Structure 1
Amino acid sequence: MPLPFLTADRAFDASAADIALPFDDHDRWRRPYRPGPWRVAAAATLLLLASFVLIAGMIIAFAGALSGATACLVLALVVIACAMRLLRMGAWVSRHGVRRVGFFVTKTVPWNRVAAVRTVQQPVKWLGFPRTVQGQALIVVRQGGEAVPPLLTDSNADFLGRREAFDRAADTVEAWGDEYRRH
């Protein structure tokens, strides 16, 4: 059974490795990398928890307590929504700009307001926790010098232990920036 959210786009084929912007439709928002194993594992764990809550809600409904079953259904829907949002987190690019999707906040910077997109060495959060480690981060430098949180880090849930994937994703986002900042 194919799982379209896990399959690779043309960007990840060996034949497309030399193409900077391998997508056909540049108006559509895309994540230029696959979700990492830590992010997928966390979402899968949340979905497993939601299935247990749904089973508990079904048992409660058969026992006759519909208010408890409704509460379980609502809780399961919240957990499923959290898992889906967790999978959508990351950096997204299109012809219109670069978008940093967080759990609660999404911030979009149009390419015409971007001065540079570059990789820097700096302290980064480890898996999003408050603990910081020395690592690499892909940052957007806005015109006017406004601070933007890092788009990608080599210690986040997508790239922890996957240095080559971080380098490839950072190069791809930088290529999108170089292409559309010129226009």
Structure 2
Amino acid sequence: MVKLTMIARVTDGLPLAEGLDDGRDIKDAEFYKQQVKALFKNLSRGHNEASRMSIETGPYVFHYIIEGRVCYLTMCDRAYPKKLAYQYLEELRNEFERVNGSQIETAARPYAFIKFDTFMQKTKKLYQDTHTQRNIAKLNDELYEVHQIMTRNVQEVLGVGEQLDQVSQMSSRLSSESRIYADKARDLNRQVSHFAASST
């Protein structure tokens, strides 16, 4: 279940938006919000290895994506599917960039886009229950993609197997042809020896 969502500018760690009712059902909500703010500060100092990352913290996991110098972060229960968490963040990112994209760099005060909370709350409700038809369909789409990747990988492995069979056949042919060559070379050596012996 999505517990907390925050958006910040990566260049300076400035919080741009936050879910207003996020964290009400979390014990130690302020502690986790402080962790998020510390993470944003680290990201602003260039301490970000990846544009997508999941970080475990107590019974929760922070998932974030960085796109266009903005970090979109959510905190979920550990059991919440990672794929849904990232899809949730992608939906937020798409809408946030569409609505506020031109104003992100010029925002001067924290939570300058607090009105974005309305969209965050609506979207969060869609992702709360992992068993809804919509979320099951998203997970099934992911399974289909994984299946396609696995199918491609199996086909590549089978292709490598066919190539190995061809190499094996070529090796067998070379081996038999080298035996024939050795036999002919022996015959020629005998003929040369006979010819040399008979001419002396």
More strand by share: 1
More helix by share: 2
Q: TM-score range by the shorter chain?
A: under 0.3
